[in-house]
Structure 1
Amino acid sequence: MLSFILFYCAVFVNGKICKDPKLAKADDFFTSGLNVGGNVFPKFGFTLKILNLINNMPGLNTLGISIARADLEPQGVVPLHMHPRAAELITVLLEGTLYAGFLVADGANFFKSVVRFIYNVGHKKATFLAFYNSQNPGTMAIPGAILASEPPNIDDVLAKSFLLNKTQIAKLRTKFS
């Protein structure tokens, strides 16, 4: 029995050690902070606060849950992005009008690799919660991945792909560096 307990306490799930249930505390199942905005992304007009339940609520490790709060100014946008390890559900709190768009590259495999954006089409700030079915959904911002990657994508490939010239590609790169 002792070897089982030692093994159980040393199991890593999503990079975190699973907590022995006998050592769980009430604080392992409580968090706060969704009542306030988070990090500011002024270029796009939104703030984002991610409540990563692995770190904020360790009692929920392995349950595959994450939550984020975003405050989106009028005409603000959460730019084209994807979550490689999760589906996303958004819920507008109180007021606001959002347009959530999805670009599906493979209709037969709809739930994987969906590129999405969220745009505030209203005249008031919109606050919403995003729920993910992964405790580590990951995020890939598409414009940054294309224009600010390391090593950089080849200018000629980008120019030909977007039907632009290399000067236009260089100008776009400056916005994401």
Structure 2
Amino acid sequence: MKAIQFLIGFALLALASSLASAYDPSRLQDICVAIEDPKDGGLNKPGNTTNRLGVNETEANVEQIPGLNTLGVSAFRIDYAPNGQSPPHIHPRASEILLVLEGTLYAGFVTSDNLNNTLITKVLHEGDVFVFPIGLIHFHVNIGKTSAVAYSGLNSQFPGEITIADTIFGAHPRIKPDFLAKAFQLDPNVVKDLENKFGNGN
């Protein structure tokens, strides 16, 4: 009987300790490093959207604002030209909430394999928000006729960003075209063309 009580007690203790560590503990410290240059980390100025994607992301993470160290938060200002897009990408260390300040965006994410790769989307207008879960492929695109602006908040001081096409087709050294052709069910010549485009930073 004592052996059974011991096993039950041990199992409850193990369960309690696993539940207690099922979330990220607070990383708050009693010190905040000041910004040396007041221009660092500002999100008040529009970004230059004259690039191949028609989008500019102004970051406010621990690299721009050292005071974010250990706080577990960061932000972006995202400026979009008409038809500008933040292409399919993931943040490996953070979930993201997107708030539209101006314009109309089409935003979405794809669930994981065990949820049948379901596409979840919404058209967002001024004041609307959308949440992208950590590690899922997501995107947003300006579908309006004018420029758009959004802010995003992430629950990591350095969330990281992996843009799918840039990562796959712009890898150095290149991933073998025959492998990618089979993986994406493409003609190897199409893969080579994509690798030439992304590999040259165009």
TM range (shorter): 0.7 to 0.9
- Check the 8 A contact 2:88/2:164 in 1, yes or no: yes
Give the structure with higher Rg (CA): 2
Deviation of the 1:26 alpha carbon: 6.4
Query: Over aligned residues, Cα RMSD in angstroms?
Result: 2.6
- The share of aligned pairs that are identical, in percent, is 40
**Change over 3 Å in CA distance of 1:122–1:39 after alignment to 2:** closer
2:148 to 82, 106, 126: 126
Stretches of structure 1 that go unaligned for 5 or more consecutive residues are: 1-17
Contact (CA 8 Å) 2:96, 2:133: kept in 1 or not? no
Instruction: Tell me by how many angstroms 1:105 deviates.
Output: 2.0
State the one-letter code of the partner of 1:98. L
Shift of 1:103: 1.3
Match of 2:55 among 37, 46, 49: 46
What is the aligned counterpart of 2:94 among 65, 76, 86? 86
Deviations 1:87-122 (A, max 9, x none): 0111111x21111110122456x9442001111111
Q: Which amino acid aligns with 2:99?
A: T
AA partner of residue 75 (structure 1): N
* Structure 1 residues 156 and 25, CA gap change in structure 2 (3 angstroms): closer
1:170 deviates by: 1.1
Number of matched pairs:
154
* C-alpha distance in 2 between matches for 1:26 and 1:159: 50
- Unmatched 5+ residue regions in structure 2? 1-27, 116-131
Question: Could you tell me how far apart the structure 2 residues matched to 1:26 and 1:137 are?
Answer: 21
- Contact 1:39/1:49 (CA < 8 Å) preserved in 2? no
Give, as a single letter, the amino acid of the residue that structure 1 aligns with 2:78: A
What TM-score do the two structures reach when normalised by structure 2?
0.67
Offset of 1:61 from its aligned partner? 2.1
Once the two structures are superposed, the pairs formed by residues 1-177 of structure 1 within 5 Å of their partners are: 21=31, 33-38=42-47, 40=49, 42-52=51-61, 54-93=62-101, 95-107=102-114, 111-177=133-199
Matched residue type, 2:147: K
- The answer to whether the 8 Å contact 2:83/2:144 transfers is yes
For the residues of structure 2 that align with 1:26 and 1:140, how far apart are their CA atoms? 29
- For 2:77 and 2:138, the matched residues in 1 are separated by 17
**TM-score normalised by L of structure 1:** 0.76
SS in 2 for 1:59: helix
